[in-house]
Structure 1
Amino acid sequence: MTSSKPTPTITPRIIIHGGAGNISRANVPADSYAAYRASLHRILTLARAELANNPAATALDVAVYAVSLFEDDPLFNAGRGAVFTRAGTNELEASVMVSRGHHKRGAGVMLLRHVKNPIKLAREILVRGDDAEGNGGGAQAHVQLAGGYVEELAKGWGLEMVEPDYFFTQKRWDEHVKGLERGKGAVVSEDTEALAGGDYEEEEGKKSSSNPNDPSWDGKEYLPQGTVGAVVLDRFGTICAATSTGGLTNKLPGRIGDTPTLGAGYWAEEWIEEDSSSSSSAAAGGMSYHPAISSSAARSPIDKLSRGDIPGLLSDCLGPLSSSSTMSSSSSPSPGQATPSSSTDEKPHPRRLRHAVGMSGTGNGDSFLRVCAARTAAAIPRFSSSVDSKKYLRDGLAWVAGPGGELQRSAGDRWENSGEGQGGIIGIELVTTAAAAGAEAGAESAVQRSWVGYDLNCGGMFRAWVDGEGRERVAVFADEDGSEGW
């Protein structure tokens, strides 16, 4: 007899990005446009093939693979194509995060100058956190590490190391020097001249700058201030976000951006929620969160007050309330309390759903940090619960990264006068019926929602994805839908 047990129906998904900002047809000419499109398509095709053809491929494997391809491509601001600091050096950052499956969930690395592929180091810190001893291969339980010590760990773990001049590209150096000339200020390091091949001479009066506005940004040229990233959903139902960057052009040495910072430039998580459409007990409207508190747990008067348990608080002070009280026994339970029921009128339990999201952001990292962009976007679907007001990841991305969103508002009157607030976020969302207790790991009953998308508030974002019909799409400017054409 053939088993009637449902099989997983999750189709792997992928979306990638290569930076965002004041990108326009005026500053990205046709030949550059074609080069970016070709690289994005190549990376998407290779990563998609790995995801589709390798039955054991995980979201983590494919996301890291895709980002490592970006890091090896000098077109993009990560790894080989990283921008320079004001001191003429490269300081690289990277991060990974999974919706489930690893103890640390996420890991970020920063201030790297010798690791060829920073994204591979972030992966090592994540997976080594699963060891039984808790030593993390020397990284302990830490989820963020920086500088020389973590580079020594990378070397010991067998990752490929390079000299700093590996990251030098003439294009990025020219952008660096041009930005310094515009701002009339620089912090010069010992190896600046060596990196420039001895051709760079600092002009008189360029040894310092106190200009708080970014002198590298003039609103016309596209100077990289973004990241590269990938978000992947695998056939097992796990979502991974992977991100890597060289940071802002002419950032101060030692500056830490959003890319390695949990919740700011990247995020992935999952949660269990009730399907409000299948239950008449759904709360009406708005954002809500109901902590699961055991009904037998003892609560102090202050705890009851903080949770809005007024009947319980009054009961402590005055004894049990009589039936004549305006707060009758049939009123709604306090958060966390169970509703008494009888065998005659018990209502069916609402269906449980597993909801997972993953995001990678790109743009002005300081703005992403200020609004905790990625985690804020994830909170929109997580804490909206009623059928009438239920939000999804597309709503969260629009609220944070879309035109007029939190990123733009965070710039205030500096919007369009600097690079502040500019950016975009890519993401994947999966909603399935939750597997029954004791079911095999990764088992899912049915996919309710599988969505891939993005939002942005600036001129463009280098992006590529596979749509719901399996078509590969590549886009650069904000007004493109991923089809062919300038």
Structure 2
Amino acid sequence: MSTMNREKPTYSSQSVKPRIIIHGGAGNLTRTTLSREQYAAYQVSLRRILASSWALLSVPGAKAIDIATYAVSQLEDDPLYNSGKGAVFTRAGTIELESSIMVSNGYRKRGVSCMLLKHVKNPIKLARELLVRGEEPNGGGAQDHCQYSGGYVEKLAEEWGFERVDPSYFYTEKRWREHKRGLKEKDHQFEQSRTSDYVPDVSLLSEWERTHYIPLGTCGAVVLDGSGAICVATSTGGLTNKLPGRIGDTPTMGTGFWAEEWQNLVSFSNLPKIPQRPATRLPLERFSRGDLFSLVNDCLPSLSRPSPPLTDYRPPPATHKLRPTRTAVALSGTGNGDTFIRMAACRTIAAKSRFTGAPLSDTVSWMAGRGGELQRSAGHRWGVTHEGVGGIIGIELCGTQSSVVWDFNCGGMFRAWVEEDGTMKSLIFREDDYDSGPK
């Protein structure tokens, strides 16, 4: 691609330790819905993708946008995950793919997303290309939009040389069985309603859905490179048996993905407060309160010593210089996308950290942890539908110090990351072994 080697300005004159975290979806993951053999297969896959991505990120000069794209493309190529080759089917038995990418800074568009793709083998590569080509006049043919869908953008992908496949490429026997069984369960709910006054709620979980892991999440990666650039990339097939044409949170900026940065300044808390005059009351109000002295003083100001104007006040000099500190965050969500959209989940997390000063780990748990805002938003539908279910991964950079964060409110989330000391970790449940998972 003509844009693959385009140079972008660096973000920091100080070195930053690269970090990466990936996820492959979340949901009803328990020892009932996930066998020991499946658990092992996911662990091997997560570690393989993390290891190859980390090796590329460790090369001097590696860029977050390239590594995030690579990591997600590997998830897309693995039929274990609900993206690319392993994508779920719509109710019509078709495949409709979504992808997105966003950087905290450095590209004019900041973020790009694609939806309703049916022929692009790796949707995340197309999203990246649309973002990078935004630096060219007329967006390299894509203009300056941030969201693209359907046939036109697939035509651009073909013109740009991206691999195009027949929709049958995305077919997997496992996903097809889930599709057919899911339709059968909903048909059964309607059949029951014919013999009673009961009107079925097709969003309610069937017994089969309670005892099986039904993919409804997203694949994603968040990457921080040595220059301080931070990038999030996501890709998904959406919800199992979604309506054709349904758009989820993966291509909806601020809901299932987000990246931004801001400057923090040293607090003025060590300086004395500027005195404030009380608000001046109207004469009638002062008379009704018995404040005759102030009324007389207004007429005969010489009876009292005038107060100096506020403009005469000069605060003492600060005891230290103000030094702006750059903070950057990026987040990728997975779960019930409609809930993420209603909550504007990822942008809300970032905003809470930005405007309250709370660490990203706290705000992620506030949104996606047990009893968090995602779960609370489901109300009485929590646990009997997929509503509110989800998890979120992210990276926060403050100055040159970084942290990897994650949390979820369901049985488990497929995730892997590199610790600050370079140790690679992968988890599905909250603890580090199969037997720790919920039943």
Shared fold per TM-score greater than 0.5: yes
Are residues 1:175 and 2:178 paired?
A: yes
Aligned residue in 1 for 2:75: 70
- Shift in Å at residue 324 of structure 1? 8.9
Q: Deviations over 1:299-350 (max 9, x none)?
A: xxxxxxxxxxx989x9xxxxxx9999999728xxxxxxxx9746x6455333
Counterpart Cα distance in 1 of 2:330 and 2:120: 26
Which protein has the larger Cα radius of gyration, Structure 1 or Structure 2? 2
SS in 2 for 1:66: helix
Q: 1:327 to 1:360 in 2, by over 3 A?
A: farther
Aligned residue in 2 for 1:213: 203
Amino acid in the other structure paired with 1:14:
I
Q: Deviations over 1:259-280 (max 9, x none)?
A: 011000000100011133x852
Counterpart Cα distance in 2 of 1:66 and 1:218: 30
Aligned residue in 2 for 1:275: 266
SS in 2 for 1:383: helix
8 Å Cα contact 1:474/1:482 also seen in 2? no
Structure 1: runs of 5 or more not aligned: 1-5, 187-204, 284-309, 315-320, 331-338, 385-389, 433-446
Q: How does 1:474-485 map to 2 (within 5 A)?
A: 474-477=426-429, 479-481=430-432
Amino acid in the other structure paired with 1:243:
T
Q: 1:340 to 1:15 in 2, by over 3 A?
A: farther
Counterpart Cα distance in 1 of 2:164 and 2:240: 23
| Percent identity of equivalent pairs | 55
Q: Deviations over 1:169-216 (max 9, x none)?
A: 000000000100100189xxxxxxxxxxxxxxxxxx9xxx98441567
- TM-score by length of structure 1 reads 0.76
Aligned residue in 2 for 1:295: none
- Shift in Å at residue 381 of structure 1? 1.2
8 Å Cα contact 2:203/2:386 also seen in 1? no
Q: 1:33 to 1:269 in 2, by over 3 A?
A: same
Counterpart Cα distance in 2 of 1:115 and 1:152: 10
Q: 1:327 to 1:148 in 2, by over 3 A?
A: farther
Q: Deviations over 1:94-127 (max 9, x none)?
A: 0000011100000000000000000001001100
- Shift in Å at residue 467 of structure 1? 1.1
Aligned residue in 1 for 2:159: 156
SS in 2 for 1:428: strand
Aligned residue in 2 for 1:362: 334
Q: 1:258 to 1:352 in 2, by over 3 A?
A: same
Q: How does 1:244-255 map to 2 (within 5 A)?
A: 244-255=235-246
Are residues 1:113 and 2:118 paired?
A: yes
RMSD of the TM alignment (CA)? 3.1
SS in 2 for 1:60: helix
- Shift in Å at residue 461 of structure 1? 0.1
Are residues 1:266 and 2:247 paired?
A: no
8 Å Cα contact 2:339/2:374 also seen in 1? yes
Counterpart Cα distance in 2 of 1:482 and 1:137: 48
Q: How does 1:81-92 map to 2 (within 5 A)?
A: 81-92=86-97
Amino acid in the other structure paired with 1:213:
S
8 Å Cα contact 1:311/1:327 also seen in 2? no
SS in 2 for 1:231: strand
Answer 1 or 2: which has greater helix percent. Answer: 2
* Greater RCO structure (CA 8 Å; 6+ sep): 2
SS in 1 for 2:209: coil
Aligned residues: 394
Q: 2:352 aligns with which of 376, 380, 384?
A: 380
8 Å Cα contact 1:279/1:349 also seen in 2? no
Q: Deviations over 1:404-431 (max 9, x none)?
A: 1111011111000011100000000001
Aligned residue in 1 for 2:290: none
Q: 1:311 to 1:223 in 2, by over 3 A?
A: same
Q: 1:311 to 1:243 in 2, by over 3 A?
A: farther
- Structure 1 residue ranges, 4+ long, deviating more than 4 angstroms after superposition: 209-212, 214-217, 321-328, 339-342, 481-486
SS in 2 for 1:165: helix
